[in-house]
A and B are shown apart, each in its own frame.
Chain A
Amino acid sequence: MYRDILGDCFLLRIPRAESAFHILIDCGILQGMPNATSRAKRIMSDIRKQADKIDVLIVTHEHWDHLSGFEQAAEEFASISVGELWLAWTEDRRDEQARRLRQGREQAMRVIDRSFNALTTLLAPEFDPDAAEEEEFEPSSASMPLDGLTGLMAFVGAEQPGGMLSAATRTTSILDQLRAKAETVKFLAPGGAVIRPMNSDELSVYVLGPPRDEKMLKRSHPSKRKPEVYELAGDGPEVDMFLVAALSPVAGVDMAQYKLSMPFATRELIANDATGVRSEGVRRSRAKYNDPDAEWRRIETDWLGAAETLALRLDSDTNNTSLALAFEFRGEKVLLFPGDAQVGSWLSWGDYVWPAEAKQSDPGSVTAEKLLARTVVYKVGHHGSHNATLRERGLELMNHPGLVAFVPVDERFARDVKKWNMPFPSLNKRLEQKTGGRVIRGDKDKDFLVTEARQRAGKAGELSRSDWESFLDDVFDIEDEEGKVAIEYRLRI
């Protein structure tokens, strides 16, 4: 795992007779992290040092924090050849369903961009003497209404706010370049045949997600009563028009549609600058509303808040299109890489069984449950946020005594700069319990684990001293000229 980034980058090296077999899963750094480019270059150079050929390159989903590195370190990456490129079926342009999803996404981004641009022009930071009165001034405590939006845009890779769509084009073009570069491209759908990339029983890969079922694909929040976040804007472009039309002029909206997008007949509406007889009925309310002393009560921008909901949904929808894979070694130990898959995707895994004609109850069949039970390496989804790791049908099923968790997170950046609750404290705690403290974090080095071991080893309910020792024997800090660049874990098969 490459470290000190809020983003994913994992290199798997599988020893073979001649040379190691290399799998690279994602390489990206969240937009807005300082020195992202130089960090990406360092990471890519290190990858180059390890391998001149990536046998399998996997991009889990189209978010900046999962693929920015291929562009930021394009030079370094150029000298590495790529065998197969694996993408989720949602990236397949020939797939009708995928195309529809993509269109909906673009539509939503357009709305969000527009509202964001409208908002920024209207908003200036406000000053709160209530806060200034305090003897200690906490500038960060009052958040700007746009903070949330800007934060979400960082996932798409928007450099400057309001450029979500153009950023998305950029991530798409990175994907396109990868497609061109790879010898073959595979689009994976869940439940398909087991893949043997090394052409032997050494390694079998099971595809768990993204689900085909759109209900599951859109489900992001762990709630029983409300299976989905309510449909604000629907999926089709025509329903979105209500919000979009207000952000006119929009290309491709004709007059009739525009009229329909108004709540009342057009004669009822009296424009802000109307004069004469028509404006008589609104004279007083307009004066009251525009009274400079009552400026604090105006509502010019509040309706744009709807975009925030949309952005949130869009973000989790994209996360749910993550390619979720289970790597099984010699039919035994499993490495689980769910991307940033959220609740819906996790829940759908239980539907599949391998081989396809077998039943869930067959002793010889493979199910998600069995794969989870044999999981020894779990890549924690979405940097340890609360909704990217399922409890009962996820983490609680990972009961292998050798379980080790990888959390690709930079907590300081997430908390202090982004104000995000990552890693989610109670999830982190449970991970520590399940792994006995063997949680390898993207912002901690081996020394941290050594101290953990010293504190924990041999105590009641903790791993024994020898377990810790053998674990620590398998953990290495990888350094380049500038310092630590990765943390490596050797898995004994």
Chain B
Amino acid sequence: MQTAVINEARVQLPWEELADGPSGDYVEVIDVDPASGGFYSAVNLDEVALLVQDGLAPSEGNPKFHQQMAYAVAMMTIRNFERALGRKVLWAPRPWRSIGKGGERFVEKLRIYPHALREANAYYSPSKVALLFGYFRASTRDPGRNLPGGVVFTCLSHDVLAHETAHAILDGMHRRFIEASNIDSLAFHEAFADIVALFQHFTLPESVRHQISHLRGDLGQRSLLSGLARQFGEAIGRHHALRDAIDELDPITNLPDPTALDRTTEPHDRGAILVAAVFDAFVSIYKSRVADLLRLTTGRGNQFPSSDLHPDLVGRLTVEATKSAGHVLRMCIRALDYLPPVDVTFGDYLRAIITADADLVADDVRGYRLAFIEAFRRRGIYPKDIRSLSVENLIWEAPAQPISIGWVTKQDFSYRRKRRDIFRTEEVRKRNLAKWLVSNADVSHEAIRAMGLWLRSDAKNTIRRSRELKGPRFEVQSVRVANRVGPDGQLEPQIIIEITQERRGYRTAELQQQVERQGRISGVSADFTFRGGATLIVDLRTREVRCCIVKDINSDSRLDAQRAFQFGAQSESLGATYYDAAGRREPFAFLHRML
């Protein structure tokens, strides 16, 4: 009853022509239900009758509403990414194995299957570039607020929809992040998707308003806003939201447990710590922004009123909350461009957030960066390779000696409007840059090493070779142009380049050394792939490499760490004992099933 007023939310999206499905520029909803053996009629949102009434009214029993909802939330998520990144969202390319001769790798539309599975699961499928949603029966014993044994649709949950869409977008940007090369990598994928879902709660002013009035302004308490996938959580018998962004605090010190990170290995649990840190940063930003309003009301800037709020105050607080959430979400998304191309850790993410923000917003008047550093530090999340946790130290360093990539300075990076053209141009640029690197590999070995790569033929034996090049193989993963707009309206055009290499990894250190010495041993194949490389942030105006984020391919300690993680860690679940988790075709299906 209490929340009856916020049962509905309206989402506004930019106009686009829609075909049945709905099917637009970015996504196409195809409502097939193979388990039931049929299709559901597709909604046509351009129908006049629907246009005049804000689309279909919410209804669980009408599959057309499910389609509309899936479309709307996916588009909302995409829009948030585009605003933060300053460029259009591209999906992961079509996998090679599905392409016939002359086929195209570009995937224009993400597919959304709202009723694909009959289980309590939903996932992003990298091999199909599709989102699959399931439906299931609520628990008969502990259904929470659901009908016992009633049908629960995951595609009717904003959080699940946003979470999966975020997975898809992130995979489109960083293809290697779905590889579990360290304890943080899968957790990061999960956490990031949760962060997006969480902060999108705050883009719906109706529900923020309601919750702020309910919480009397204090967003630091658990509420509908901080919980994720509540219906889902209750339907599987958990009594509460699937995950909550607010973690437990020590009753005496009032601080979170900084050792929890060391003890937690399961990707979702670990990711929850990162989500809690970001939410904590958000709450402190929000509190500092509303301090003046509180002083006017209670006389103390850090004290929330103990009685119900005046509607105008609720309105003002809502504005501040939505604004702070928008900033935090954009900071989190923007940081994606500042991550290393492979083997990401939580510490890297903190550095990425700080650097991305410092690049765009010169002076941190509101203390956003400090709020992030503080919240992360309290949970024991910090990079292991820096001297102190100050903003200056966290910003990715500029390369020690300038890396000059001749190709970049000559290239014309003109604007492309269509996503297909953007994709094709990038493919061409990637090839050209690779060619340039091959012909200059010997000349600028120092610079290549500064990028964590090794292209000379004296590279370690385990670094994968290419027959064509007669030397170490490498891959230019992306050459992207981003046009970001800062809060003061200034433009920050950048080119983001990712280059990676592969190295064969073996189960034991002894075997590794043996292969390093002898080259190849017959009958022994590599047990895992170790990757290294760099992300280069290039200023589009000066064509200078602003910073270079490196994961060295030559690093034996990182290789050892990956081996220890993959072959000795306690992190493995029973499923991983049986199923070769790394070689799985649907990594998220499995991860999400383990919940």
Residues of A whose CB lies within 8 Å of any CB of B are 126-130, 134-136, 138, 140-143, 145, 147-148, 151-152, 220-221, 223, 225-226, 229-232, 234, 236, 239, 242-243, 246, 262-265, 268-272, 274, 281-286, 288-289, 293, 295-303, 305-306, 308-309, 312, 316, 385-387, 419-422, 424-426, 429
In the bound complex, residues from chain A placing their C-beta under 8 Å from that of B125 are: 299, 302
Whether B39 contacts A270 by the Cβ 8 Å rule is: yes
Q: How far is the CA of A148 from the CA of B97 in the complex (A)?
A: 22
Return 6 A-B CB contacts under 8 Å, by A number. A143-B580, A282-B41, A299-B113, A306-B593, A308-B593, A424-B577
In the bound complex, residues from chain B placing their C-beta under 8 Å from that of A316 are: 574
Whether A271 contacts B465 by the Cβ 8 Å rule is: no
Q: A148-B578, A306-B121 are in contact. Are A386 and B37 (CB under 8 A)?
A: no
Whether B589 contacts A302 by the Cβ 8 Å rule is: yes
Whether A426 contacts B33 by the Cβ 8 Å rule is: no
**A419 to B, closest residue via Cβ:** B580
In the bound complex, residues from chain A placing their C-beta under 8 Å from that of B116 are: 299, 302-303
| Most A C-beta atoms less than 10 A away, residue of B35, B568, B572 | B35
Whether B40 contacts A268 by the Cβ 8 Å rule is: yes
B369 at the interface (CB under 8 A from A): no
Question: Given B63, B269, B467, B586, which contacts A264 in the complex, CB threshold below 8 Å?
Answer: B63
Whether B136 contacts A312 by the Cβ 8 Å rule is: no
In the bound complex, residues from chain B placing their C-beta under 8 Å from that of A130 are: 95-97
In the bound complex, residues from chain A placing their C-beta under 8 Å from that of B139 are: 231, 234
In the bound complex, residues from chain B placing their C-beta under 8 Å from that of A422 are: 577
B244 at the interface (CB under 8 A from A): no
Whether A263 contacts B33 by the Cβ 8 Å rule is: yes
Whether A230 contacts B579 by the Cβ 8 Å rule is: no
Q: How far is the CA of A21 from the CA of B37 in the complex (A)?
A: 61
Q: A231-B236, A239-B140 are in contact. Are A138 and B595 (CB under 8 A)?
A: no
* Additional A-B contacts beyond A129-B97, A142-B583, A145-B584 (14; CB < 8 A): A128-B96, A136-B520, A142-B585, A151-B579, A225-B269, A268-B62, A268-B63, A270-B40, A282-B39, A293-B103, A296-B128, A302-B586, A422-B577, A429-B568
Whether A269 contacts B33 by the Cβ 8 Å rule is: yes
B332 at the interface (CB under 8 A from A): no
Q: How far is the CA of A420 from the CA of B153 in the complex (A)?
A: 35
Nearest Cβ in chain A — how far from B191, in angstroms? Answer: 16
**B127 to A, closest residue via Cβ:** A296
Q: How far is the CA of A281 from the CA of B19 in the complex (A)?
A: 12
Whether B111 contacts A221 by the Cβ 8 Å rule is: no
In the bound complex, residues from chain A placing their C-beta under 8 Å from that of B525 are: 136, 138, 140
Whether A425 contacts B567 by the Cβ 8 Å rule is: yes
Whether B21 contacts A285 by the Cβ 8 Å rule is: yes
Q: A145-B585, A272-B39 are in contact. Are A129 and B136 (CB under 8 A)?
A: no
Whether A270 contacts B41 by the Cβ 8 Å rule is: yes
**B272 to A, closest residue via Cβ:** A225
B78 at the interface (CB under 8 A from A): no
Q: How far is the CA of A426 from the CA of B580 in the complex (A)?
A: 18
B289 at the interface (CB under 8 A from A): no
Question: 6 smallest A-B Cβ distances: which pairs?
Answer: A296-B98, A281-B41, A306-B119, A148-B579, A246-B35, A282-B39
In the bound complex, residues from chain B placing their C-beta under 8 Å from that of A285 are: 20-21, 23, 29-32, 39, 42
B555-595 CB contact bits vs A (8 Å, 1 = yes)? 00000000000011110111111111001111001000111
Nearest Cβ in chain B — how far from A313, in angstroms? Answer: 9
Whether B42 contacts A284 by the Cβ 8 Å rule is: yes
Nearest Cβ in chain B — how far from A473, in angstroms? Answer: 31
B117 at the interface (CB under 8 A from A): yes
Q: How far is the CA of A334 from the CA of B111 in the complex (A)?
A: 60
Whether B97 contacts A264 by the Cβ 8 Å rule is: no
Nearest Cβ in chain B — how far from A183, in angstroms? Answer: 38
Question: Given A295, A308, A425, which contacts B568 in the complex, CB threshold below 8 Å?
Answer: A425
In the bound complex, residues from chain B placing their C-beta under 8 Å from that of A231 are: 139, 236-237
B132 at the interface (CB under 8 A from A): yes
In the bound complex, residues from chain B placing their C-beta under 8 Å from that of A151 are: 578-579
Q: How far is the CA of A96 from the CA of B116 in the complex (A)?
A: 38
Whether B128 contacts A303 by the Cβ 8 Å rule is: no
Whether A421 contacts B572 by the Cβ 8 Å rule is: yes
Q: A232-B119, A296-B95 are in contact. Are A269 and B40 (CB under 8 A)?
A: yes
Nearest Cβ in chain B — how far from A240, in angstroms? Answer: 10
In the bound complex, residues from chain A placing their C-beta under 8 Å from that of B595 are: 226, 230
Q: How far is the CA of A130 from the CA of B103 in the complex (A)?
A: 15
Q: How far is the CA of A265 from the CA of B115 in the complex (A)?
A: 14
B103-144 CB contact bits vs A (8 Å, 1 = yes)? 100000001010111111100010111101011110110000
Interface residues on chain B, number (Cβ under 8 Å): 85
B231-256 CB contact bits vs A (8 Å, 1 = yes)? 00000110000000000000000000
Q: How many A-B residue pairs have CB under 8 A?
A: 214
Whether B579 contacts A242 by the Cβ 8 Å rule is: no
B258 at the interface (CB under 8 A from A): no
**B19 to A, closest residue via Cβ:** A284
Nearest Cβ in chain B — how far from A125, in angstroms? Answer: 11
Whether A297 contacts B130 by the Cβ 8 Å rule is: yes
Nearest Cβ in chain B — how far from A416, in angstroms? Answer: 11
Nearest Cβ in chain B — how far from A387, in angstroms? Answer: 5
Nearest Cβ in chain B — how far from A253, in angstroms? Answer: 14
B11-35 CB contact bits vs A (8 Å, 1 = yes)? 0000000011101000011111111
In the bound complex, residues from chain B placing their C-beta under 8 Å from that of A269 are: 33, 36-40
Whether B36 contacts A246 by the Cβ 8 Å rule is: yes
Whether A299 contacts B38 by the Cβ 8 Å rule is: no
Nearest Cβ in chain B — how far from A344, in angstroms? Answer: 12
Q: How far is the CA of A220 from the CA of B117 in the complex (A)?
A: 25
In the bound complex, residues from chain A placing their C-beta under 8 Å from that of B88 are: none
Q: How far is the CA of A205 from the CA of B23 in the complex (A)?
A: 68
Q: How far is the CA of A151 from the CA of B580 in the complex (A)?
A: 11
B204 at the interface (CB under 8 A from A): no
Whether B574 contacts A152 by the Cβ 8 Å rule is: no
Question: Given B21, B38, B151, B466, which contacts A271 in the complex, CB threshold below 8 Å?
Answer: B38
**B582 to A, closest residue via Cβ:** A141
In the bound complex, residues from chain A placing their C-beta under 8 Å from that of B567 are: 421, 425
Q: How far is the CA of A301 from the CA of B117 in the complex (A)?
A: 9
Q: How far is the CA of A221 from the CA of B21 in the complex (A)?
A: 42
Nearest Cβ in chain B — how far from A274, in angstroms? Answer: 7
Nearest Cβ in chain B — how far from A35, in angstroms? Answer: 22
Q: How far is the CA of A300 from the CA of B34 in the complex (A)?
A: 6
In the bound complex, residues from chain A placing their C-beta under 8 Å from that of B42 are: 281-282, 284-285
Q: How far is the CA of A134 from the CA of B464 in the complex (A)?
A: 8
Nearest Cβ in chain A — how far from B291, in angstroms? Answer: 36
Whether B37 contacts A138 by the Cβ 8 Å rule is: no
In the bound complex, residues from chain B placing their C-beta under 8 Å from that of A282 are: 31, 39-42
Q: How far is the CA of A426 from the CA of B30 in the complex (A)?
A: 46
B266 at the interface (CB under 8 A from A): yes
Nearest Cβ in chain B — how far from A175, in angstroms? Answer: 25
Whether B577 contacts A263 by the Cβ 8 Å rule is: no
| Most B C-beta atoms less than 10 A away, residue of A129, A265, A299 | A299
Q: A143-B580, A221-B574 are in contact. Are A242 and B137 (CB under 8 A)?
A: yes
Whether A299 contacts B96 by the Cβ 8 Å rule is: no
Whether B584 contacts A143 by the Cβ 8 Å rule is: yes
In the bound complex, residues from chain A placing their C-beta under 8 Å from that of B95 are: 128, 130, 296
Nearest Cβ in chain B — how far from A281, in angstroms? Answer: 3
Q: How far is the CA of A239 from the CA of B237 in the complex (A)?
A: 14
B489 at the interface (CB under 8 A from A): no
Q: How far is the CA of A356 from the CA of B120 in the complex (A)?
A: 43
Nearest Cβ in chain A — how far from B189, in angstroms? Answer: 19
In the bound complex, residues from chain A placing their C-beta under 8 Å from that of B487 are: none
Whether B121 contacts A271 by the Cβ 8 Å rule is: no
Whether B117 contacts A263 by the Cβ 8 Å rule is: no
In the bound complex, residues from chain A placing their C-beta under 8 Å from that of B21 are: 284-285
Nearest Cβ in chain B — how far from A286, in angstroms? Answer: 6
| Most B C-beta atoms less than 10 A away, residue of A268, A385, A425 | A268
In the bound complex, residues from chain B placing their C-beta under 8 Å from that of A420 are: 577-578
Q: How far is the CA of A243 from the CA of B33 in the complex (A)?
A: 13
In the bound complex, residues from chain A placing their C-beta under 8 Å from that of B40 are: 264, 268-270, 282
**B528 to A, closest residue via Cβ:** A141
